[in-house]
Chain A
Amino acid sequence: MRKRVIFNDKALPYLLLLPQVAITLIFFFWPAAQAVYFSTQIQDAFGLRSQFVWFENFGAILSDPNYLSSIRVTVVFSVSVTVLAIAPALLLSVMADKQIRGATTYKTLLIWPYAVAPAIAAVLWLFIFHPSVGLLGRFLVAIGVPWDYALNDAQALLLVVLASAWKQISYNFLFFLAGLQSIPRSVLEAAAIDGASQTRRFWTIVFPLLSPTTFFLLVVNLVYAFFDTFGTIHALTRGGPGTSTTTLIYRVYVDGRDNLNLGTSSAQSVVLMLFVIALTMIQFRYIERRVHY
């Protein structure tokens, strides 16, 4: 039988829960409720005049071709970032998991980029790829490649994707490494004795056994690409040229902070909130089903 803690006092458990509940209410539920409230308002920057407009703000963003284009940008951006952050991480972790000299050093170096703040990472990329001050950028221009991400949609998107993915590789690497280490050696050895090649062992044993980790990372990376890449985009391209690197979260920032338009900015936040709720539900259902196998 499981050992259970029994509280004699009815109030004590609630009291112990209170700090966590209070934090959740103040820092999560209260702002979320505010966002929902503001999404139904049209308000001036100083909050001196407010009008209740039902769902007009939602109508305004959904009929804005630039908003729809930023949805497209976000999808392309997020999928690219997720793929480019997961695939190299998997490769690197498989390599680092082997018995090689100095494995710890490699591991440390691979984990390092995770500690770099997004804005600093972006500046780093700027110094590499800027067409007139960046090392590689200057080189590309010198050999005749028309490299100028300030005025080329595709190049700008490529740059923010690379910079964002690079930041996330370390995180994925760490999880894959942990996942690899929990795969029983005996299974791999048995397969090796049966004559399975290294590639075959990877695809038939390692990869399936890693699938819970991969799925978890897929969700986490998508959320990262959606919400945590703001700093990189802001420092590298500011959403330009045109609106070619304006993702949904970047637009929330621009409309709310630069344009001081709380109504449409909140409406966009609410749309994003619904999206996250959906994503979380999918994750829970899937993981619930896959956790025992």
Chain B
Amino acid sequence: MLSRRSILQSTAAIGAVAAFSGARAQAQRTQVTFWYGLGQPLGGILEQVVAGFNASQNQYQVNPVFRGQYPETMVAAIAAFRAGNAPHIVQMFEVGTATMMAARGAVMPVHQLATDTGVAIDPAAYLPGVRGYYSAPDGKLMSMPFNSSTSILYYNKETFRKAGLNPDQPPKTWREVREAAQKIKSANAAPIPYATAWPTWVHYENFSAIHNVPLATKVNGMAGMDAELRINSPLHVRHLQMLMDMQKDGTFKYGGRDNAGEAVFVSGEAAIITTSSGYRARALRETPGAPASVGFGYLPYHDDAVQAPLNSIIGGASLWVMTAPNRTKEEYKAVAEFFRHVSRPEIDSKWSQDTGYVPITLAGAERLKESKFWQENPGTDIPTLQLTRGTATDNSLGLRLGNMPQIRVIIQEEMERAFQGQQTAEQASNAMVTRGNQVLREFERANRS
């Protein structure tokens, strides 16, 4: 009779053998480390994409590691580079692009990776708005486009009905947003008629793009580090004034920096919100009465400032290849193969379906159209259509400003002061430009070669 102990011993032995052979199988594969900055549930979906790559071949193994939110991931990657052991791939938010691009020697541009490893990565496969954001001025791809979103409008159909508004007609212009908000307020249909998340991304970066006004000189910084902010233009001041007026008359409520404002829509308090298309999954899961109660619309515009709004710009993140001493050619090859994998139309379109991010390749977008996913899921096509409408100008290609996260904080600080009545819209806008330009000059100075 087997004693309990010997059973335990033999299971342990089997486990050890299995672990050993597993380790050997892993050792034969080229190992690549991938740091990412997406929380759940997106992080889990990302890990599935990586697992799919690992299972699709037996030469390379990508090991995904969650390193906290985007800013933490960025800081961790920089610290690791300084210590000489940067990860092979790091996911970096779009506003970190200028910092990464300036770090020649720390990153390997994707076009160079493609040339060095012989793995074809064709920039023409990606949506122009996505490609432009991550390309050098000469059109060469610097980082691998990955999760991209844009900002859109969400509205609560229940509240619209209660306020006597047409629940199938989202407000298209700011005039209509104000009218709807006014009605919602007087009908007492919701405590917060209009709210916003990502105050700078929505009301400055995307606002400038769709209205075809510059955010900064030098093609919003894409043509050179000596760019200067232009966000104190009459249109920008007027828009901030409108938000301040709405805040005052109770039709708008500032909900905090970055994505802090998102909470009030899913709680049912806010009737309209402008935020990321990546918010879709959460809105459909948490809003009372969802999915029937959640409606989608394009980002509003001022119809007296522009006849037809231009394309909006992306947010989200891209994948950067980092260098380190004694990194082998085989490791770079593994990275390139992984990049080719995530750009495959079927992977790309599935990623978009699962997460609410936009498809980044033209073929992926085509696939979604053909699969009827867009028709069956109303609103899912808006981000892609909004990103690709019209002909992009210098004002709507994207932006590349050094230390952009810091500039975003400055803009938000000045907005907060304005909303409290401590300064006028014009004073706030001028303060944003003065302080922001100072940051840009510091960046330019620190990164001058």
Chain A positions near chain B (C-beta within 8 angstroms): 42-49, 66, 132-133, 150-153, 238, 240-243, 254, 257-261, 263
Q: Is the CB of B412 within 8 A of A47?
A: no
Interface contacts beyond A45-B446, A48-B103, A152-B420: sample of 6 additional A-B pairs, CB < 8 Å, sorted by A = A44-B102, A45-B78, A48-B105, A243-B413, A257-B75, A258-B405
Give per-residue flags for B415-435: 1 if the beta carbon is below 8 A from chain A beta carbons, else 0.
011011010000000000001
Q: Are B104 and A48 in contact (CB under 8 A)?
A: yes
| Contact B106 A46, beta carbon cutoff 8 Å | yes
Q: Tell me, yes or no, whether B394 is within 8 Å of chain A by CB.
A: no
Contact with A along B89-111 (1 / 0, CB 8 A): 00000000001001111100000
Q: Which residue from chain B places its CB closest to the CB of A152 in the assembled complex?
A: B420
User: Using a Cβ–Cβ cut-off of 8 Å, how many residues does chain B contribute to the interface with A?
Assistant: 40
Please tell me if the beta carbons of A43 and B420 are within 8 angstroms of each other in the complex.
no
- The reply to whether A150 and B255 form a contact with Cβ atoms under 8 Å apart is yes
CA distance A150 to B420 in the complex (A): 10
A260 touches B412 (CB 8 A): no
- A selection of 19 A-B contacts at a CB cut-off of 8 Å is A42-B445, A44-B446, A45-B446, A46-B105, A47-B82, A48-B105, A48-B106, A49-B448, A49-B449, A66-B435, A133-B263, A150-B254, A150-B255, A151-B420, A240-B416, A242-B413, A242-B416, A257-B71, A259-B403
Query: Quick one: which of B82, B267, B409, B442 contacts A132, CB cutoff 8 A?
Result: B267
Contacts A242-B416, A258-B71 given; indicate if A46 touches B103 (C-beta within 8 A): yes
A contact residues around B169 at 8 Å (CB): none
Any chain A CB within 8 A of the CB of B243? no
Q: 5 smallest A-B Cβ distances: which pairs?
A: A241-B416, A259-B406, A46-B106, A242-B417, A44-B446
A261: which B residues are within 8 A, CB to CB? 403, 406, 442, 446
By beta carbon, the residue of chain B nearest A259 is B406
A238 touches B403 (CB 8 A): no
Question: With contacts A151-B420, A243-B413, A259-B406 known, is A44 near B447, CB below 8 A?
Answer: yes
Given contacts A132-B263, A152-B420, A260-B78, contact A43 B446 (CB under 8 A): yes
A258-B406, A259-B403 known; A132+B269 contact, CB < 8 A = yes
The interface residues of chain B, by DSSP majority, are classed as helix
**B43 close to A (CB within 8 Å):** no
Shortest A166–chain B CB gap in Å is 23
Residues A240 and B104 in contact, CB atoms below 8 Å apart:
no
User: Does chain A have a CB within 8 A of B174?
Assistant: no
Q: Which residue of A lies closest to B422 (CB)?
A: A242
Cβ-defined contact, B420 with A241, below 8 A: yes
B267 CB contacts on chain A under 8 angstroms: 132-133
Q: Is the CB–CB distance between A42 and B446 below 8 Å?
A: yes
Minimum C-beta distance from A5 to chain B (A): 43
B264 interface residue (CB < 8 Å to A): yes
B260, B403, B420, B448: residue with the most chain A Cβ atoms closer than 10 Å: B420
Asked if B64 is an interface residue, CB under 8 A from chain A, the answer is: no
> Would A238 and B446 count as touching, CB distance under 8 A?
no
Q: Which of B103, B254, B417 contacts A45 (CB 8 A)?
A: B103
Q: Looking at the complex, which one of B105, B256, B414 makes contact with A150 (CB distance below 8 Å)?
A: B256
Partner of B419, one of A133, A151, A258, A260: A151
B residues in contact with A243, CB < 8 Å: 413
Q: Are A238 and B78 in contact (CB under 8 A)?
A: no
- Chain B positions within 8 Å of A45 at CB level: 78, 99, 103, 446
Q: How far is the CA of A73 from the CA of B15 in the complex (A)?
A: 59
Interface membership of chain B positions 101-123, coded 1 if the CB is closer than 8 angstroms to chain A and 0 otherwise? 01111100000000000000000
Q: Tell me which of B254, B264, B409, B412 has the highest count of chain A C-beta atoms within 10 A of its own C-beta.
A: B409
Residue of A nearest to B81 (CB): A46
Find chain B residues with CB under 8 A from A263 CB.
446
CA distance A132 to B102 in the complex (A): 42
Q: A49 to B448, alpha carbons, bound, how many Å?
A: 8
Report the minimal beta-carbon distance from A43 to chain B, rounded to whole angstroms. 6
Complex alpha-carbon distance, A42 and B414, angstroms: 27
Specify which chain A residues have a CB less than 8 angstroms from the CB of B269 in the assembled complex. Answer: 132
Residues of A within 8 A of B256 (CB): 150, 240
B446 touches A259 (CB 8 A): no
**Which residue of B is nearest A241, CB measured?**
B416
Q: How far, in Å, is A278 (CB) from chain B's closest CB?
A: 29
Q: How far is the CB of A242 from chain B (nearest CB, A)?
A: 5
The verdict on B239 contacting chain A, using a C-beta distance below 8 Å, is no
Write the nearest CB–CB distance from B81 to chain A, whole angstroms.
Answer: 6
CB of B431, distance to nearest CB on chain A (Å): 10
Check B218 for interface membership: any CB of A closer than 8 A: no
CA gap between A133 and B422 in the complex, in Å = 27
Residues of A within 8 A of B82 (CB): 46-47
Specify which of B263, B414, B446 is in contact with A49 (CB 8 Å cutoff).
Answer: B446
What are the residues of chain A within 8 A of B78 when measuring CB–CB? 45-46, 260
For chain B, residues 331 to 388, give those with C-beta under 8 angstroms from any C-beta of chain A: none
A258 CA to B68 CA, complexed, in Å: 14
Name the one of B405, B414, B420 contacting A153, with C-beta atoms under 8 angstroms. Answer: B420
Cα-based distance from A260 to B74 in the complex (angstroms):
10
Is the CB–CB distance between B445 and A259 below 8 Å?
A: no
Mask, B208-252, CB within 8 Å of A = 1, is: 000000000000000000000000000000000000000000000
8 Å CB contact of A151 from B406, B416, B442: B416
